[in-house]
Structure formats: C-alpha cells, structure tokens
Amino acid sequence: MSTVLDVKGLNCPLPILRTKKAIKDIAVGSVLEVIATDPGSVKDMEAFCKQTGNVLLETKDAGGTYTFKIERKA
C-alpha cells in the first residue's frame, strides 16, 4: 500500500517541498506516490532522491501528468 500525494497544478519548488513533508510522514521502507503536472519535476524528483538517499522506483508520464514512486530510505 502506498500513500498518495497530489501536487497537480503546483510549480517549482512546491512539488519537492510537499514531497519532503509527505515522505517524513511515512515509515522507512514505505512508498510515496506523487502525482504532479510540473514538467520540471521529472528531473527535480530524480535530483531530490539522489541527494536525500530516497529511492525513485518509478517515473510515469501520462501525457503531462507525472507519477513518481518514491521509497523512503532514511
């Protein structure tokens, strides 16, 4: 089961800020699903995960709506 965070319509850096908040609320090893429309979030989510040590399991692009699956590591 994964927690879903909807950041559709929000622009940089809000998707990242909201993701950070949401990931703190889930248990280590759990997965957060983030749904965004900001095209910049594709690269940014990757960079965010790389820097924070969380794992970006999956990025899906459904015609302008992006779904990220992030596993909390630390």
Partner 1 sequence: MAETGKSMSIIVTKGTLDWAYPPLILASTAVAMDLNVTLFFTFYGLTLLKKKLDLKVTTLGNEAMEMPMMGMHMAMPNLLAAMPGAPGLTTMMMKDLIKKKGVASIEELRDACQEAGVRMIACQMTMDLFEYQPSDLIDGIEYAGAATYIETATQCDINLFI
Residues recognised as catalytic: 12
Contact residue for partner 1 among 4, 6, 17, 39 (CB under 8 A): 17
Contact residue for partner 1 among 3, 33, 35, 52 (CB under 8 A): 52
Nearest to 22 by CA among 46, 44, 6: 6
Can you tell me the distance from the alpha carbon of 72 to that of 40, in angstroms, rounded to the nearest whole number?
21
- How many Å is the Cα radius of gyration of the chain? 11
Of the pair 37, 59, the CB lying nearest partner 1 is at 37
| Contact residues for partner 1, defined by CB under 8 A | 9-14, 16-17, 19-20, 38, 47-48, 51-53, 74
